[in-house]
Each structure stands twice: as C-alpha cells, then as structure tokens.
Amino acid sequence: MASTIGIMQALISIFIDDGDKLRCINAGQARITFLLRPPLYYVCVSSWGEPESVTRTHLEYLHLQILSIVTASQLRRIFERRTNFDLRRLLDGAESFLTSLLDELEFDLGISTSSLHCLKLELNLRKRIAETLVPTGKTKEMLYVMLTVEGRVVTLIRPRKRSIHPADIHILLNTIKSPSISNSQASASWIPVCLPKFNPSGFVNAYISFLRDEPIIDSSPSSSSTDSIKDGATEAREPSISLICISGTGDFDYVKDWCEGAIKKLAVDGSLRALTKSILSQQTEYTVAEVGVPGLRHFIYKSRSQVQITFPVFEDPYNNTNEKRRLITLYQTLHDAIHAKSGQSEPLKLQYIRTDTESALGWITQPFELYIAISPLLPKSAIIGAANAVVRWVKKEESRLFLRDAPIF
C-alpha cells in the first residue's frame, strides 16, 4: 500500500505544481477518481461503469463521514502541526462507520439523488406521530427530532429557522447503523457527532432510542390463537424503529427525559403499535404492479420541492445483486447526463437509453425528476406514456409517499 499511495501522491503533486487538480484517470474499463479535500486526499478505483460524478460523490461522503468523527477544524490544526500525522490514530474504532457507508453507497438511491427516502405511511398516522414528537418546554435544548425505520424517515421535526441537509441525515443514519450502537444491549445511547453541512467545526449530541413494541404473532385466521401458537406460528421480525434527538447543548438529562416521555406517549396512544403493524404487513412497501402501467419494470421519482424520493421494491429481473447494481448504474448515468455533472456542455431535460434488457428514460421538470425502466420490446412512445402514468400515480399517492408539512417549533 505504501508504494501505491506514494504513486497517488506523486500524481496529485504534479498537477498541484501546475496550479491544477487531478480529477480522474481512465485506464481501460477502470476509472481512478481523485477528490482533494486538504489536508486529506481520497482515491477510488472502479470498473462498474458508473459516471465520474458518482465515484466523486462516494468519496465526498467518505470525507463527510470522517468529518462527523473528527471536525474540519481539528483536522486542520493537527496537520498544521504535524504534516506526517497518522490519521488512523483518530479513527481507531470508527472503521465500522466507513465500511457501513461503503456498503450503503453502492445501492442507496437517496444518496445518489441527494434526497431523503421516506417511509410510505398513511397520512393520519404520520401526522399523529409527528404531533407527539413536537418538542415542548425547553425547546432551545432541541435542534432536530427524527423518527426512522431501517434507514427511512417517518417524520422530521425542526426549529422554524433551521433546515437540515440530506447529506447530514445520511451520515447520521449511517452512524446509528454501526454495530456498536445498533447491536448494543442498551435501549438508548448518547453519541457526539459533527454534522458537516450544519457546522463542520463543532459537535452536536445525538440521543438515539430504539423503540420496541410487543411481539406480533402471525397466525392463521381459521384457527384459534392458542392452536396457532402450538402449531408453530412464527413471531414476525421486529422492525428497527429509532428516535433520534439532536441537541446543541449539554442538558443531557432534559433531552433524555423528554425522549422517554415521547416514546411513552407513542406507545399509549397506539401510534407505535400501528406503525409496527404497517411495517410487518408490508403496507410501507409497494410494487410496480400497484402502479398499473404495462411493461413497467422500475422507477425512481424525486419530488424536487420536498427533496424526497420514492420507488417500488426491486423485483424480477432486478432482485439479484448484479442486476440491481446494473439498473442503479443506468439510473446514475441518466442522472449524470440530466445534471451535466461530469463536464458535459449543458444539462438535459430528457435522456433516453436502450439496452438489451430495458429501455430507460430520465426526465427533469421544475416539480420533479423521474427515472424509469420499461421493457425493451415496447416502442419509444410507450416509455413516454409510462412516464406520464407514473407521474399521475405518484401525484395521487403523494400524501402517503412523502413527508409533507412536518411540524416545526
């Protein structure tokens, strides 16, 4: 590794000496992408065929994850004093965060589109949960309150004059997925975390609670509950529901007490139970068949005003890893062309690609972005009709698909 890193450093230095920055090297099917965020340099080698902008985004997220552990000001001070400092000393124990993020970057469509993936949920239930989680009392102690289910946002409550960047949410969600936190025997944890887009030079305190409802037993409706349990009814897998409270102050006791009180309210009013049932009955998922468009294989719809995405589950032929990766790479190629992220002369409103496996279209308008895959046997006009049909369906279902009008305090 030392010789490889030495070559990378030499290549970067040659361009820096000329007042330039090295972006990438194309070597056959492989692309070597460089991202310079002094005092750190990042390099990615990939042969998947994704656009340069995608690997650059992945490297940017690695940088943000490191900043969540060691702030930008700390990094600057350390390397100003010692240019040969070994950063691994500060990141000891944090390897799981970086490994988890690399796994997430491969398939996370929210990261690819710089947006949030919210949990599909009935409007009244989402509203009831949100109203329960609005901070009361010493609201200055709270920055953000967020309820998530396995990486998808149920609701997000924020102060009136503060927003939160999707990148900070992705970094936060990846952090709480760490085995040291998610597999902990404790039902709640305090962690200091830097949210780089919020303040790259300071830490906030995150109180993470894992909510658990009573086990739900799946049984046959034709048999009694006692018989079904005896006959081996299975206990459904408990969904991972997390309440995250972000505080900018050090009043830990108040935040902890408030969170515990909010969790009790969710249990008492039945919201937690209703949420768990919705997840276990798969009401929070949907398939392309529900959209009712002939030939439709898959799609991603992004609400630009809400900065949120929705998409159906990956089904045949995209239910294996290689095909799913191939489709996501195709979406990334469309996204890159539409936004001119890899040095194109200008962005596009429409981009059409046809492969042996599917026809794909990327379409951007003021209210939305749409990436859609249909059967390659259908004519080009069919994909336009399918795209319009998907847009109509999402509009009809948007109260359940997106988090809208979340409370502020």
Distance (Å, rounded) from C-alpha 121 to C-alpha 283?
A: 7
Distance (Å, rounded) from C-alpha 269 to C-alpha 342?
A: 50
The two tokens of residue 252 are 């830990």
Q: Supply the pLDDT for residue 186.
A: 66
Q: Supply the pLDDT for residue 138.
A: 77
Q: Supply the pLDDT for residue 187.
A: 76
Q: Which residues contact 389 (CB under 8 A, 6 or more apart)?
A: 291, 292, 293
Are the beta carbons of 147 and 243 closer than 8 angstroms?
Answer: yes
Q: Supply the pLDDT for residue 1.
A: 87
Q: Supply the pLDDT for residue 224.
A: 41
Q: Supply the pLDDT for residue 90.
A: 87
Are the beta carbons of 407 and 142 closer than 8 angstroms?
Answer: no
**Chain CA centroid to CA 140, Å:** 27
Report the alpha-carbon angle 180-38-54, nearest 5.
70
Q: Which domains does the chain have, with CATH numbers?
A: 2-100 (no CATH), 116-280 (3.30.450.30), 288-401 (3.30.450.30)
| Residues 124-143: b if buried by 16+ CB within 10 A, e if exposed | ebbbbbbebbbbeeeeebbb
| Residues 278-308: b if buried by 16+ CB within 10 A, e if exposed | bbbeeebebebeebebebbbbbbbbbeebbb
Are the beta carbons of 288 and 315 closer than 8 angstroms?
Answer: yes
Q: Which residues contact 260 (CB under 8 A, 6 or more apart)?
A: 209
| Residues 207-237: b if buried by 16+ CB within 10 A, e if exposed | bbbbbebeebeebeeeeeeeebeeeeeeeee
Residue the block writes with tokens 């496996």: 357
Cβ neighbours, 10 Å, residue 75: 21
The two tokens of residue 19 are 């007042």
Cβ neighbours, 10 Å, residue 324: 16
Residue the block writes with tokens 């409802």: 213
Are the beta carbons of 153 and 130 closer than 8 angstroms?
Answer: no
Q: Supply the pLDDT for residue 184.
A: 67
Q: Supply the pLDDT for residue 10.
A: 94
Q: Supply the pLDDT for residue 236.
A: 54
Collect the ranges in the chain with pLDDT lower than 70.
Answer: 183-186, 213-237
Distance (Å, rounded) from C-alpha 103 to C-alpha 40?
A: 22
Cβ neighbours, 10 Å, residue 352: 14
Residue 241: left (phi > 0), alpha (psi -120 to 50), or beta? beta
Q: Supply the pLDDT for residue 237.
A: 62
